[in-house]
Structure 1
Amino acid sequence: MRMIKVANAPVSFGVFELSDAPPPLTAAEMVAAIAGAGYDGIDLGPIGYLGTATDLAGRLGGLLLAGGWADLPYGDPDGFRAKLPELDATLDVFAAAPAADGPFAPRPTLGCSGSPERFARPGGNAPGLAPGDWAGYAARVQETADRCRERGFEPVFHHHLGTYVETPQDVERLLELTDVPLCLDTGHLLLAGGDPVTALRDWAGRVGHVHVKDGDTKILDQALADGADLRELMGRGGFAPLGEGELDLPGVVAALRDTGYQGWVVIEQDTLPGRRSVERNIADQAANRDKLKELGL
């Protein structure tokens, strides 16, 4: 499986774009921990955390840039237009990353904001996108993808709990209406009622990036019962260390092998800052890397 490289991401340490809390560790400390655990790459995290267009390459410590979150409110036409300059700023940073060829070029990971605060429609409390809104939503996703391609980057779309593209049915609809490759996130799909192994096989021709994370449906069920939001689910450990949730990790690796997937696998274990110690986060990400190594990845 030499055509797969494995990365980690700042969100595994509680550092992510939608949090205003101070980072629990410096970028240099995170890079050292990820490189020391045997990862090949890292996701970008909040713009500026790993550096800017002038100093990003020097701060990656030999790691490659695997991708990075680009958040746009596709459900809000005016808000979408207003945030396009932020996408351009993200792509400016991508352009400063160390060169990587073919499937290992960094992927702009298109995320969706401006969506329901609650999550997991299998639990019954997220409304989804109205049928008449799908065409405009998908057109804005397609426009964003084309904008990335004009800059030389092939984007992927990240389905996500608490957004309008959450369930397997949502993903199918978006794939029908756009030509954008999918960032398949095993943890978000699992907790949205999907089967990640089946999805990797069924959507193999459209999977351009893979986020591997585990999920705990018991924690999800309690969070739904409590009326908690997605951030609180993260804080409670809804995304578990690999092997401690319900993800069929051997099945995921087998599906990647059997479908001939080429590109990045990004291990993530979404958490909130301050909920776990830095030392535990570092140990978890080293253990997560070892789990994949044991499976030949």
Structure 2
Amino acid sequence: MSFGVFELTPEGADTIAPDQMLEILDETGYAGIDLGPAGYLGEGEALISRLRAHDFGLAGGWVQLPMSDDDAFEAALPELDAAITVFADAAAALGGPAAFRPKPTLADSGSEARQARPGLAVDPLDAAGWDRLAANAARAAERVRAAGLEPTFHHHAGTFVESPDEVERFLDRVDVGLTFDTGHLLLGGGDPAAVVERWAPRINHLHLKDVDRAELARVIDAGGGMVEVWSSGAFAAFGDGDIDLATIMDAMDRAGYAGWIVVEQDVLPEAGIDLATFAARRLADHRTNREALRPWA
């Protein structure tokens, strides 16, 4: 998402081409990439060839499902199955250790009210809603496992698993690994450094981003939603924000974590910026980000 290409990329928007994105990540020392929107990196053999050209693995990818609504969840299952097929085919073609096979990154869809007011836990689920969410999350995870892949669940701002209490409630009810996202946990009212030790045994995927707390607070206090957060620059390169990266990574080292570290900044291009300038900024950011992780990876 550092490159502004994800599920909320506006229709018809100019975006960095996939090969340029892969070249930037290759140049800055990365070993893989998330899938991104379906088809962006190609499909079938085109996807595999593109990854092999850079000796890249596929870390996983976002699969958002309306888990608290049984009818909507049922209608979304073909989308889940299509995504699982992409990941399973990539895992078979690319091989490698089990810990580095792609992890379908499951997430709840939340609600319009939550997406409009992220981090405030508005529009909470009642007990019946939690029952539906937990049951459907378990069903989604089982479909992933049936394809020979390891599922992971992403707590995410604007969804019904957003605050630390909601993450705890989810972990108590659903047997699935956790995607630990530093930025979204902070936006949801948590302190990543304070909970990472406790949740480490359940964490099977890492999404790391730094956060400028002052800028994030400015956006939320002004009534901004998720699009405004992504457009604000609140998610910064490592060292430009307030996340305690060392405490988080040291805790994961002690827990014996072995798996992907997905570096995200959740950046949308500023209005009027040309793609060449935007790409140059992402190149600089990723040099910074990759070097920040050298002590651990």
Q: Same fold (TM over 0.5)?
A: yes
2:69 maps to 1:71: no
Aligned to 2:116: 118
Partners of 1:148 and 1:155 lie apart in 2 by 6
Q: When the two structures are aligned, how many residues end up with a matched partner?
A: 284
Residue 106 (structure 1) aligns with:
102
1:176 counterpart residue number: 172
1:51 corresponds in structure 2 to 42
Structure 1: distance between partners of 2:55 and 2:36 = 17
**How far did residue 165 of structure 1 move?**
0.4
Q: Distance in 2 between matches of 1:244 and 1:280?
A: 14
Aligned twin of 1:6? none
Classify the secondary structure of the residue corresponding to 1:161.
coil
Q: Which runs of 5+ in 1 are unaligned?
A: 1-10
d(CA) in 1 for partners of 2:249 and 2:14?
32
- Separation of aligned partners in 2, 1:111 and 1:255: 24
Check conservation: 1:15, 1:23, Cα contact below 8 A: no
Aligned to 1:117, the other structure's residue is in SS state helix
- 2:35–2:60: 8 Å Cα contact kept in structure 1? yes
1:80 is matched with 73
TM-score (norm 2): 0.91
Cα distance per residue 1:12-41 (max 9 Å; x no partner): 100002323435211111111101110111
User: Does 1:289 find its partner at 2:290?
Assistant: yes
For 1:36, the equivalent position in structure 2 comes to 27
% identity of equivalent residues: 44
Q: 1:250 aligns with which of 246, 250, 268?
A: 246
Shift of 1:219: 1.7
Please give the alpha-carbon distance, in whole angstroms, between the structure 2 residues aligned to 1:229 and 1:89.
30
Instruction: Give 5+ residue unaligned stretches, structure 2.
Output: none
Query: Secondary structure, in 3 states, of the residue corresponding to 1:80?
Result: helix
Q: Is 1:200 the counterpart of 2:196 in the alignment?
A: yes
- Alignment CA distance shift 1:23-1:69 (3 Å): farther
Q: TM-score, normalised by structure 1?
A: 0.91
Letter in 2 for 1:76: D
Alignment of 1:150-165 (within 5 A): 150-165=146-161
After superposition, give the CA deviation of every residue in 1:50-106 in whole Å (9 maximum; x if it has no partner): 111232110112110011011111122211111111111111211232122221111
* Matched position secondary structure for 1:19: coil
Letter in 1 for 2:109: S
- Separation (CA, whole Å) in 1 of partners of 2:57 and 2:201: 25
* Partner of residue 92 from structure 1, selected from 85, 93, 104: 85
Q: How far apart, in 2, do the equivalents of 1:89 and 1:50 lie?
A: 15
- Runs of 4+ aligned residues of structure 1 deviating over 6 Å after TM superposition are none
Cα pair 2:125 2:160 within 8 Å, conserved: yes
Q: 1:32 aligns to what SS in structure 2? A: helix
